[in-house]
Amino acid sequence: MLRLAAALLFTAAAAAQAAAPVETSAGELPVILTAPHGGVESLPGCDERTPVGTRFVTGPDAHTDRLARLIAAELRQITGRAPYLVIARFHRKYIDANRRPEEAYGDPGCAAAYAAYHAAVRGHIDDIRGKYPHAMLFDVHGQIAYRNAILRGTRYGRTAQALLARAGAAAINGPDSVFGRFAALGYNIVPGNNNAPTDPVEAKNYIGGHTVEIYGSHRSDGIDAMQLEYGRDLREGAALEATARDSARAIAAFYERFLK
């Protein structure tokens, strides 16, 4: 009887998680991976968005939900500990979780799912800030403007300013930085590591959006934050798994050097 009750409870929990608009889990590393644009699911009770703002995009960043999940799994393999994870399951045509509420959705029926996404991120940041001296949020995206490159977005160093203040430019562009490792692994990166992190050379439209802006370390309640924009070629077919593996290697190296 007890076993049956436990089984029913487990089934109910699994069903609730499957139906939830946001996939999220706490971690054991001071690293948060967020993926606001990879979802493809519909959202009952939430009407599609209508055009608003200067850059209105409704297409998903293909496979970035899976990419974030794979990076998390690889990080666990390498370090023995999992990062925190927040993935939007809903399609971007309903909610753009990387926009301010007034641009993220139009129908009030979408508000709860948007709030759930950001409550998860905020909860993880507060948890991490209580446990670790240093931490980093990576906001995982996809772009097609630079098909075989990975783009860095920190609003010219602003959203990682605490990291820059304590560890210097090398934490962003040095050999043990995430983009230093990407370059060493053979990836094309934008901007190049020969630029200073505060140089205004991050790619236009990819300097970092709402997520890094509201959770970055330039805010008194934030942590260091960086947007990662993966080109389409790095997310297609078999390339996705290699991209995830290499991203986890890069983040693990950064963690060893700058977050421990």
In the complex, the residues that contact Zn ion under the rule CB under 5 A are: 37, 61, 141
- Distance in Å from the first CA to the final CA of the chain: 47
Minimum Å gap between C-beta 36 and Zn ion is 7
- In the chain, DSSP finds a helix count (H) and a strand count (E) of 9, 7
Comparison of 29 and 96: residue with beta carbon closer to Zn ion: 96
Minimum Å gap between C-beta 148 and Zn ion is 17
Alpha-carbon span 162 to 168, nearest angstrom: 9
Rg of the chain over Cα atoms, rounded to whole angstroms, equals: 18
Minimum Å gap between C-beta 227 and Zn ion is 8
Comparison of 57 and 170: residue with beta carbon closer to Zn ion: 57
Minimum Å gap between C-beta 142 and Zn ion is 6
Alpha-carbon span 54 to 27, nearest angstrom: 35
Comparison of 118 and 141: residue with beta carbon closer to Zn ion: 141
Comparison of 120 and 171: residue with beta carbon closer to Zn ion: 120
Minimum Å gap between C-beta 252 and Zn ion is 24
8 A C-beta contact, residue 86 and residue 22: yes
8 A C-beta contact, residue 105 and residue 95: yes
Minimum Å gap between C-beta 35 and Zn ion is 9
Alpha-carbon span 57 to 148, nearest angstrom: 21
Per the structure block, which two tokens stand in for 158? 């602003």
- List the Cα angle 241/243/248 in 5-degree steps: 95
Comparison of 134 and 141: residue with beta carbon closer to Zn ion: 141
Minimum Å gap between C-beta 205 and Zn ion is 10
Comparison of 61 and 246: residue with beta carbon closer to Zn ion: 61
Residues in Cβ contact with 185 at an 8 Å cutoff, skipping those fewer than 6 apart: 246, 249, 250
Comparison of 49 and 141: residue with beta carbon closer to Zn ion: 141
Q: Helices marked H in the chain — which ranges?
A: 2-19, 64-79, 101-104, 111-131, 161-167, 170-173, 178-184, 210-215, 239-254
Residues in Cβ contact with 242 at an 8 Å cutoff, skipping those fewer than 6 apart: none
